[in-house]
Amino acid sequence: MLDVKVAKLKNTGEIMEANNKLEEVNTEPVIQLIIPRGSGQEKVVSVTRKKAMTLAGIFAVVFVCMAGAAGFYGWQYHHSKIDRAAYQEYLDHKSEQEAKIQSLLDDNEKMLRDMSEIHTLETKLRRAVIQNSGDREFSSSLDSIGATPGAKSTDPSYNGKGGPGADISMMDVAAAQNKNLTSQIDRQKKNMHELLTIIEGRNNRLSILPDLWPTDGGVISSLYGGRTGPINGGFDWHPGLDIAVDIGTPVYAAAMGTVEMAGWNGGYGQYVKIRHGNGYESAYGHMSGIAVTAGQQVRKGEIIGFVGSTGYSTGPHLHFEVFVDGENIDPLYMLKKAR
């Protein structure tokens, strides 16, 4: 009997403990959700606060994930539009750049052709001057311009190099052609400068030679050398050439130079003397008027005065003298040399 009572007491304790736990569960806060079901009916869902908090946490996490995904894909979409616009702009810019490069290449090619034509004209000019110069030294100097030892030609068309050119941009091609063109232009400038320098040098040498007939027409009325004196008779040494011509006829400088004297000079009357350089001088006497002053620079063929009959003269004429290193020479020697 004692054992039965103990068993009953034990069962009673377990039942009481279970009831206490049920009461604890029943006393936990409950959240009720009313869900409409139509036809005026409703469904009531009871959820404990603990479960509600758990579900709320899950929904918050899901919401944050969805918001983040939406933001990411929105950012991607926005920047994909920007990237597409930038790419389109790049394509447009690339097309424009390629058109400019092609235009530059076309211009370079045209300029190279023009340089070749200039080179050809320069060669023809040099040959024409050589053929008409009659001066071997001068011809040799002209012919040596632009000559490169071992080279057959300085024509720009003979300077090209190339190949299949893997992975070479057209910009690099344009730059290479531009460099080549610049080199050709510099070389052509140098050649033309040398040609001009040689021609000018020869012209200057020719310009200082007093070999220009000093009047318009006229006849030689007295030669250089011994003669009978035109006024008192007897032997007379004539240091120049008399050219009889109408009074007032212009007198021209026989060569370029500097006027050394311009004025009255005894028996020479109105007189001009010009220093030409390299020991050459010329003198002009008996003029009716003088058109230059001492120290003035004159060109070959420039008017320096007018024919007259001043000083010891029997009639209108020009007395013309030529000096080399201070000594008189026969002016006809220089005049014939010019012919």
Return the pLDDT at 115. 73
Positive or negative torsion for Cα 247, 249, 250, 255: negative
Ramachandran region of residue 218, left (φ > 0), alpha (ψ -120 to 50) or beta? left
**For strand 250-252 and strand 241-244, is the pairing parallel, antiparallel, or unpaired?**
unpaired
8 Å CB contact between 288 and 269: no
Positive or negative torsion for Cα 115, 117, 121, 127: positive
The two tokens of residue 261 are 């004297």
**Any idea which residue has 């946490």 for tokens?**
57
Return the pLDDT at 6. 46
Give the whole-angstrom CA distance, residue 247 versus residue 257: 25
Which residue ranges of the chain lie beneath pLDDT 50?
2, 4-6, 9, 25, 148-158
Return the pLDDT at 69. 78
**For strand 280-290 and strand 317-324, is the pairing parallel, antiparallel, or unpaired?**
antiparallel
What value does the mean pLDDT of the chain take? 76
Give the whole-angstrom CA distance, residue 260 versus residue 273: 5
8 Å CB contact between 287 and 269: yes
Give the whole-angstrom CA distance, residue 50 versus residue 58: 13
Give the whole-angstrom CA distance, residue 238 versus residue 227: 7
Which amino acid is present at 131?
A: Q
Give the whole-angstrom CA distance, residue 117 versus residue 155: 9
On whether the pTM is more than 0.95, the answer is no
Buried (b) or exposed (e) across 255-287, using 16+ Cβ within 10 A?
bbbebebbeebeebbbbbbbbbeeebbbbbbbb
Return the pLDDT at 30. 61
Give the whole-angstrom CA distance, residue 305 versus residue 285: 10
Return the pLDDT at 24. 54
Give the whole-angstrom CA distance, residue 48 versus residue 33: 11
The two tokens of residue 187 are 């070389």
Query: Residue 334: which of 276, 248, 268 has the closest Cα?
Result: 276
Return the pLDDT at 116. 73
